[in-house]
């Protein structure tokens, strides 16, 4: 297994281009199942999770063509509405094919995703919504089997805010008979990007970005072209890397618009951020102080502080001035990066879903292990400021969600290299 070797101490400077959003691209790739006409996408990130999803769609009979960031999908030959365990177990987001397959084919057989490192990750809300729309659903032998000659519009209420739950049900509702209302809907920008793509395919959706989304079903969707939004979590990750290293960098192809909660906290920590937007270009410049002030955070659904930025903020608080309180309210086991950061000399105390992080003068390089996608990112940030060398093992986690991170960080002056196993 590959590892990353980082020599700490470099202040990041220069410019970096932000890729398309993984968590927008994944549901939008699944939206191609809803139409027999081609969907053409641009700004699709080159990530392992994207590759996995394209493989899954191809084996269902979708014709996939990829040229770098451009992907075209033609589901006219869709003939196998099944998502097998072998692929689903490597990427939970495969559950996002369930709604579209059921809506387009009237049937679907999708492996239960199972849990992952950060939590049990149930999909009961996805199933509850499909049942309310008239589907027959059985869960047996590790598979969800669903049937519905035609889904019917319904008023849905999710017990908690669920991003992919909202996305699955919104896609299923596009071809249902009548109107569907999703209450307590997720408001994440990725949900809005999916809705914009679906509308360009002829769907009738209003309210995306609010907690009440209305979808009026239509008989079919047509082909379209769509550009994937920038990845706000990659953006936040590079902002944190600059913050930790007293850096001064510009991030191109992204904006602060989707990251107000993160930008506020970075400013509280002492950073200066300048957003620039022209009709053809948007960017963020961040200038960090010599030493950050500790900032406390509490994760919650958008627009509050995103759980996907929690690990990165734990890392910057490890070298900030003061003590930060970090509360994780979304997932039940999303502090696994803490023990790895402690190996680097961090002062972190965990009490349930709360972490108390007291900044130290310097972290010391060590060998650490990535446990999940965003935990890996926090270890990269810590390695950038640790004294000496930090070796990060199991970086396949990182490759799922960050495009060539060592190339992008290296271009900003980081001393970082990938060592093939
Ligand atoms: C999405 O996961 C993201 N993944 C996650 O990003 C992100 O952390 C999460 O939303 C929260 O923002 C994608 O978009 C592909 P949820 P999702 O359903 O949809 C519980 C990353 O790093 N829940 O919003 O799976 C669930 O257990 C990944 O890119 C149920 O109980 O998350 C959790 O506690 C990690 N039953 C909470 O709701 C359900 O049916 C929120 O989960 C669904 C969810």
- CA distances 371 to 88, 164, 288, 398, Å, are 19, 22, 28, 9
Mean pLDDT of all residues in 204-217? 98
Cβ 122 under 6 angstroms from ligand 1: yes
> Is the CB of residue 212 less than 8 Å from the CB of residue 185?
yes
Q: Which position has the higher pLDDT, 159 or 280?
A: 159
Residue 52 near ligand 1, beta carbon < 6 Å: no
Confidence (pLDDT) at 114: 74
279 pLDDT higher than 90: no
What's the mean per-residue pLDDT of the chain? 97
To test the pocket of ligand 1, the residue of 88, 330, 334, 335 to mutate (highest count of ligand atoms within 8 Å of its CB) is 330
Instruction: Determine contact, residues 82/122, Cβ cutoff 8 Å.
Output: no
Mean pLDDT of 278-292: 94
Helix (H) or strand (E) holding 6: strand 3-7
Task: Write down the pTM of the prediction.
Answer: 0.98
pLDDT of residue 104: 98
Query: Which ligand 1 atom is the nearest neighbour of the CA of 118?
Result: 35
Determine if residue 117 is left, alpha or beta; phi over 0 gives left, psi from -120 to 50 gives alpha, anything else beta.
alpha
- Local structure of 298: helix, strand or coil: strand
Say if ligand 1 is within 6 A of residue 330 CB: yes
Closest to 342 measured CA to CA, from 377, 322, 320, 368: 368
**In this structure, which residue's CA is closest to atom 28 in ligand 1?**
308
Any ligand 1 atom below 6 A from CB of 159: no
* Coil, helix or strand at residue 120: coil
Angle at which helices 310-317 and 232-244 cross, to 10°: 0
The answer, yes or no, to whether any atom of ligand 1 lies below 6 A from the CB of 239, is no
Catalytic residue among 46, 116, 197, 240: 116
Q: Is 116 a catalytic residue?
A: yes
Separation between Cα atoms, residue 295 and residue 135, nearest integer Å: 46
pLDDT tens, residue by residue, 139-184: 999 999 999 999 999 999 999 999 999 999 999 999 999 999 999 9
Question: Which H or E run contains 71?
Answer: strand 70-74
The answer on pLDDT for 65 being more than 90 is yes
Distance CA 292, CA 279 (A): 34
**pLDDT score, position 254:** 97
Render pLDDT for 294-332 as a digit per residue (tens, 0 to 9): 999 999 999 999 999 999 999 999 999 999 999 999 999
Ligand 1 atom closest to 188 (CA): 12
- The residues near 246 (Cβ < 8 Å, ≥ 6 apart) are 11, 288, 289, 290, 291
Beta strands, E only, 238-353: 248-252, 272-278, 281-287, 297-298, 323-327, 347-351
28 lines ligand 1 (CB under 6 A): no
Report CA(311)–ligand 1 centroid distance (Å). 16
Ligand 1 centroid to Cα of residue 127, in Å, is 15
- Whether 278 shows a pLDDT value over 90: the answer reads no
Rounded distance between C-alpha atoms, residue 135 and residue 147, angstroms: 6
Residue 115 has pLDDT above 90, yes or no: no
Q: How far apart are CA 298 and CA 49, in angstroms?
A: 27
Q: In this predicted structure, what is the pLDDT of residue 266?
A: 98
Question: Taking the chain, what is the end-to-end CA distance rounded to the nearest angstrom?
Answer: 5
- Report which of 308, 401, 384 is spatially closest to residue 4, judged by C-alpha positions: 384
Residue found by looking up tokens 């059921």 in the block: 102
pLDDT at 117: 82
> For a pocket test of ligand 1, which of 112, 119, 163, 399 has the largest count of ligand atoms closer than 8 A to its C-beta?
163
225, β-bridge pairs: 40
- Look-up of token digits 């209305």: 214
Predicted confidence at residue 420, as pLDDT, reads: 87
pLDDT at 100 over 90: yes
Q: How confident is the model at residue 251 (pLDDT cuts 50, 70, 90)?
A: very high
Q: What are phi and psi of 186, to 5 degrees?
A: -70, 145
Kind of pairing, strands 179-183 and 155-157? parallel
**Helix, strand, coil tally for the chain in percent (to 5):** 35, 30, 35
What is the pLDDT, as a whole number, of residue 116? 79
Q: Tell me the three-class secondary structure of 189-245, residue by residue.
A: HHHHHHHHHHHHCCCEEECECECEEEEECCCCECCEEEECCECHHHHHHHHHHHHHC
Identify the residue whose C-alpha is closest to ligand 1 atom 25.
164
Q: In what order do the strands lie in the sheet with 63-67?
A: 63-67, 70-74, 39-42, 224-227
Tell the residue nearest (CA) to atom 44 of ligand 1.
162
Query: What H or E segment, with its residue span, contains residue 70?
Result: strand 70-74
Query: Where do the DSSP E strands lie in 316-388?
Result: 323-327, 347-351, 354-358, 363-364, 367-369, 386-387
């Amino acid at each position: 297994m590959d590892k990353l070797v980082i020599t700490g101490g470099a202040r990041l400077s220069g410019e970096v281009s932000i890729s398309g959003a993984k968590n927008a691209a994944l549901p939008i790739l699944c939206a191609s199942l809803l139409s027999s006409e081609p969907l053409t996408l641009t700004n699709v990130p080159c990530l392992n999770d994207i590759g996995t999803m394209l493989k899954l769609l191809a084996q269902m009979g979708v014709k996939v063509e990829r040229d770098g960031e451009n992907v075209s999908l033609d589901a006219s030959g869709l003939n196998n509405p099944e998502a097998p365990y072998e692929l689903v177990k490597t990427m939970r987001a495969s559950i996002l094919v369930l709604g579209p397959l059921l809506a387009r084919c009237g049937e679907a057989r999708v492996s239960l995703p199972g849990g992952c490192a950060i939590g049990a990750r149930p999909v009961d809300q996805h199933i509850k919504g499909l049942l309310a729309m008239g589907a027959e659903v059985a869960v047996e032998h590790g598979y969800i089997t669903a049937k519905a000659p035609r889904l019917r519009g319904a008023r849905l209420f999710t017990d908690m805010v669920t991003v992919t739950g909202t996305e699955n049900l919104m896609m299923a509702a596009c071809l249902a008979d009548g109107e569907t209302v999703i209450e307590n809907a997720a408001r994440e920008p990725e949900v809005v990007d999916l809705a914009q793509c679906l509308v360009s395919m002829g769907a009738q959706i209003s309210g995306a970005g609010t907690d009440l989304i209305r979808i009026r079903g239509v008989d079919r969707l047509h082909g379209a072209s769509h550009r994937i939004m920038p990845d706000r979590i990659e953006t936040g990750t590079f902002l944190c890397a600059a913050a930790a290293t007293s850096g001064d960098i510009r991030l191109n192809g992204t904006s602060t618009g989707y990251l107000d909660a993160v930008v506020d906290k970075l400013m509280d920590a002492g950073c200066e951020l300048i957003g620039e937007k022209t009709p053809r270009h948007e960017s963020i410049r961040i200038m960090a102080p010599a030493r950050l002030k500790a900032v406390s955070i509490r994760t919650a659904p958008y627009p509050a502080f995103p759980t996907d930025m929690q690990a990165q903020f734990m890392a910057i608080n490890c070298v900030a001035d003061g003590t930060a309180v970090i509360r994780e309210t979304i997932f039940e086991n999303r502090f696994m990066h803490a023990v790895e950061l402690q190996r680097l000399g961090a002062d972190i105390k965990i009490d349930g879903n709360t972490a108390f992080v007291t900044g130290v003068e310097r972290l010391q390089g060590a060998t650490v292990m990535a446990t999940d996608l965003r935990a890996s990112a926090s270890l990269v940030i810590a390695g950038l400021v640790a004294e000496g060398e930090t070796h990060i093992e199991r970086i396949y986690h990182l490759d799922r969600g960050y495009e060539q991170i060592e190339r992008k960080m290296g271009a900003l002056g980081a001393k970082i290299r990938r060592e093939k196993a």
